Amino acid sequence: MTAASASAAILLSTSLAASGPTVVLRMHDPALVESSGLAVSGRHPGVVWTHPDGGTVAQVMAVDRRGDTVATLTLDGIDPYDPEALAPGTDGRSLWLGDVGDNSVQRPDVSAFLVTEPRRLADRTVRAQWFRFSYPDGPHDAEALLVDPDTGRLMIATKSFGDAGLYQAPSMLVTQEDEVNRLERIADVPPLVTDGAFLSDGRFVLRTYTDAHVYDRPGHEIDSFALPPQPQGESVADDGDDALLVGSEGRNSAVYRVAIPAGEADTASATGAATTGEPAGQGEVSGRPGGADSDGWRTAYLVARAVAIVVILGGIIAVLRRRRR
């Protein structure tokens, strides 16, 4: 991915941030070096689901508070293109795996797979419902799939430097055997969105490599704040108790719990499944979710973020030049 070239620049900013976010777990599984999506389990307290980026089989993996993979679900008969996102279903026991990545921007349609969390965590092959989606304005790269908890409607936020958008699926979906579900563009989104998640109060969050953007409805941003610097910030999930879980690609990658600053809407408090307590040896870490206590912290963070963006741009230009040769 083009974001890999920004890793060093983003890592340079870790010493510049004040305390705030907390490490919830670190993923030890080598199969999750490219952990891309994140969702809190609705059935198993203390467990989060994630998945690898790419591969020849579609899988979702359950990770406990120690960072250990305790179950791998392999989706039967599905050869994925580029899985990039994971979202909880509306029934509290299902997961949507979004096969929506398209770095070359050439796919005629993208896919999402619906699976049910098992009652018992164990490695197994599971059946999945397969849904296909097409954009009204041609192919797009994307890494964010969201599911509205009130309506059950799926949304995809595309990833680009310009003209990125939020696309909504029909209220009634048809499976891939029947036809392709046509998406509708409903709002603009920030550049380089890498994931998104709905909150328990109906708001939703879109994250980039460096920031989180909070919306009370599509196209109406009510807040934004800095996320802890990560090697390649890829994922976000709602933790329920006015907090987000944010993850990254990379070896032994950390998942942080980040408090959501007070916004324009009151939040409904709930007990988060994956953040009760913290793993042995973990504690406060660098990073602050927003509203820095000093102008110096914010200035330093903005400088580091600007450097990261410049490096990303340089990586993309280099890739484009190689393709022309």
The predicted model scores a pTM of: 0.78
Query: What's the pLDDT score for residue 33?
Result: 94
Which is nearest to 14 in space by CA: 249, 287, 247, 296? 287
Which class does domain 20-285 fall in? mainly beta
Query: What's the pLDDT score for residue 302?
Result: 46
* 117 vs 300, higher pLDDT: 117
- The average pLDDT across 182-186 equals 98
- The average pLDDT across 84-91 equals 97
Is the pLDDT at 187 greater than 70? The verdict is yes
Query: What's the pLDDT score for residue 241?
Result: 80
36-63 pLDDT tens trace:
999 999 999 999 999 998 778 999 999 9
27-37 pLDDT tens trace:
999 999 999 99
Query: What's the pLDDT score for residue 55?
Result: 78
- The average pLDDT across 174-189 equals 95
Question: Domain spans of the chain?
Answer: 20-285
Average pLDDT of every residue of the chain: 81
Query: What's the pLDDT score for residue 321?
Result: 44
> Which residue pairs, CB below 8 angstroms and at least 24 apart, start in 305-308?
305/13, 305/210, 305/211, 305/226, 307/9, 307/12, 307/13, 308/6, 308/9, 308/10, 308/13, 308/209, 308/210
